[in-house]
Amino acid sequence: MKIVHTADWHIGKIVNEYSMIGEQEYMLGQFVEIVKEEEPHVVIIAGDIYDRSIAPIEAVELLDKTLGRIILDFGIPVLLISGNHDSPERLSFGSGILRSKNLFIEGNFKKDITKIVINDDYNKVNFYMLPYVDPAIVRNIYEDGSIRTHNQAMRAIIDRLNGNFDKSERNIMITHGYARGISELSFSDSERPLSIGGTDYVEIENFQGFNYTALGHLHRPQYAGGKKVYYSGSLLKYSFSEVDHKKSVTVVNMDEKGDVIIEQKELKPKRDMRDLEGKLSELLDPSTYRNIEQEHFYRVILTDKGELLDPISKLKSVYPNVLQIMVKERIKDARDIKTAAGEGYKDKTKLQLFKEFYKSITEDDLETENIEVMSRIIEGVEKKGDDLYEAY
């Protein structure tokens, strides 16, 4: 069985006010070519198809065109699930009808996980489609008040599935979220947190019964511990924390026994996301920029001291796709400023930061009741963030 595994397309994403749709179209064109060449039995897209719950028109059109090529032109089935950025209901539109055309969409979490069976030359392979789901939804659907965390939800889901699971067959899990094993995961700024209390991990032991687990959510391609649980990574770099990433598509070859070999096929963007550092005058000097590919997306780190007059316009006249500028001196200054958040504030959750802030002002700990209120507010803002951005 040959599988092409991808995830986190985030179609329609805007990075620093720049729409990535043109880049996404270019990249998905490359993706389609890889699928054509590889001729897999199936393509898996493990969530975050769109970047927001209400996807822009161009995003819907691009997905339609891409899936049409794979399913109608090449006759390859596609299995796709929703991620935390997708609207489960909107993504599910027509899913019952589309199944007959080999497009399997799982938007909403269901009490019994949908199993899709696909045959290869040896035998059948079972694909379990588990879209991203909040623990509260699992708690309600399973009527189990003890489910509070993502890991508890996953354990309950797997326990229920085990009653209907044949270990002698080959089984693949498709899901979206943080899976934690022994190895350290690599995070990016473009991944939206799943919860605010730090209880968003699922342990990879949950997946040990599967021959392969196709994950979405983390944007760097990586193993989540073990050799059978893998993040294919995002389609493109979506933040400057990803400048050193190499984006790829995962090709999974599974043998008769269910053992897998994973290969990465690199995706090369039209315009890359890169850092550029130097003094403004140097960067604007032809002897510098003649040797630099000017069309890429740059975060410019200026090393000048003192004030600069409208550096962004000057830089854009040479590097048209500058997305961000920073001044190195000020970055250093900012690090020296002592905030209430103290050391390592970047690793703290928003709730932790708020608790520390509250304590620094009132000298009291935040009460449980208020923690809950604050949690709801942060969660609401995280989820509605894109829509708010739209509205304002």
Stretch that binds Mn ion, among 96-104, 161-169, 212-220, 349-357 (CB under 5 A): 212-220
The rounded distance, in Å, linking the Cα atoms of 265 and 281 is 39
Strands 42-46 and 78-81: parallel
Stretch that binds Mn ion, among 46-54, 105-113, 253-261, 292-300 (CB under 5 A): 46-54
Q: State which residue, 44 or 76, has the beta carbon closest to Mn ion.
A: 44
- Tokens read off for 121: 């030359």
Q: State which residue, 107 or 258, has the beta carbon closest to Mn ion.
A: 107
> How many chain residues interact with Mn ion (CB under 5 A)?
4
Q: Which of 105, 93, 112, 98 has its CA nearest to residue 44?
A: 105
- The per-residue DSSP string of 17-31 comes to TEE-HHHHHHHHHHH
Contact between 13 and Mn ion by CB under 5 A: the answer reads no
- The per-residue DSSP string of 29-95 comes to HHHHHHHHHH--SEEEEES--BSSSS--HHHHHHHHHHHHIIIIIT---EEEE--TTS-HHHHTTTH
Ranges within 76-135 binding Mn ion (CB under 5 A): 83-84
Is the CB of residue 222 less than 8 Å from the CB of residue 233?
yes
The rounded distance, in Å, linking the Cα atoms of 271 and 297 is 6
Q: Which helix (DSSP H) or strand (DSSP E) does residue 264 occupy?
A: strand 260-266
Q: State which residue, 187 or 223, has the beta carbon closest to Mn ion.
A: 187
Minimum gap (Å) between residue 347 Cβ and Mn ion: 19
Minimum gap (Å) between residue 12 Cβ and Mn ion: 14
Q: State which residue, 77 or 131, has the beta carbon closest to Mn ion.
A: 131
Minimum gap (Å) between residue 234 Cβ and Mn ion: 9
Q: State which residue, 68 or 385, has the beta carbon closest to Mn ion.
A: 385
The rounded distance, in Å, linking the Cα atoms of 7 and 17 is 23
Stretch that binds Mn ion, among 41-49, 178-186, 241-249, 364-372 (CB under 5 A): 41-49
Cβ within 8 Å of residue 210, ≥6 positions away:
128, 171, 172, 173, 228
Is the CB of residue 95 less than 8 Å from the CB of residue 146?
no
Minimum gap (Å) between residue 177 Cβ and Mn ion: 8
Q: State which residue, 84 or 213, has the beta carbon closest to Mn ion.
A: 84
The rounded distance, in Å, linking the Cα atoms of 106 and 174 is 10
Q: State which residue, 59 or 315, has the beta carbon closest to Mn ion.
A: 59
Strands 222-223 and 229-231: antiparallel
Is the CB of residue 107 less than 8 Å from the CB of residue 97?
no
Q: State which residue, 51 or 311, has the beta carbon closest to Mn ion.
A: 51
Minimum gap (Å) between residue 176 Cβ and Mn ion: 6
Contact between 23 and Mn ion by CB under 5 A: the answer reads no
The rounded distance, in Å, linking the Cα atoms of 347 and 356 is 13
Q: State which residue, 48 or 242, has the beta carbon closest to Mn ion.
A: 48
Q: State which residue, 135 or 311, has the beta carbon closest to Mn ion.
A: 135
Minimum gap (Å) between residue 383 Cβ and Mn ion: 12
- Tokens read off for 193: 């947190």
Minimum gap (Å) between residue 14 Cβ and Mn ion: 16
Question: Of these, 217, 228, 296, 299, which contacts Mn ion (CB under 5 A)?
Answer: 217
Cβ within 8 Å of residue 207, ≥6 positions away:
158, 173, 179, 213, 228, 229
Minimum gap (Å) between residue 244 Cβ and Mn ion: 20
Minimum gap (Å) between residue 10 Cβ and Mn ion: 8
Minimum gap (Å) between residue 84 Cβ and Mn ion: 4
Cross-strand partners of 274: 298
Contact between 48 and Mn ion by CB under 5 A: the answer reads yes
Residues that bind Mn ion (CB under 5 A): 48, 83-84, 217
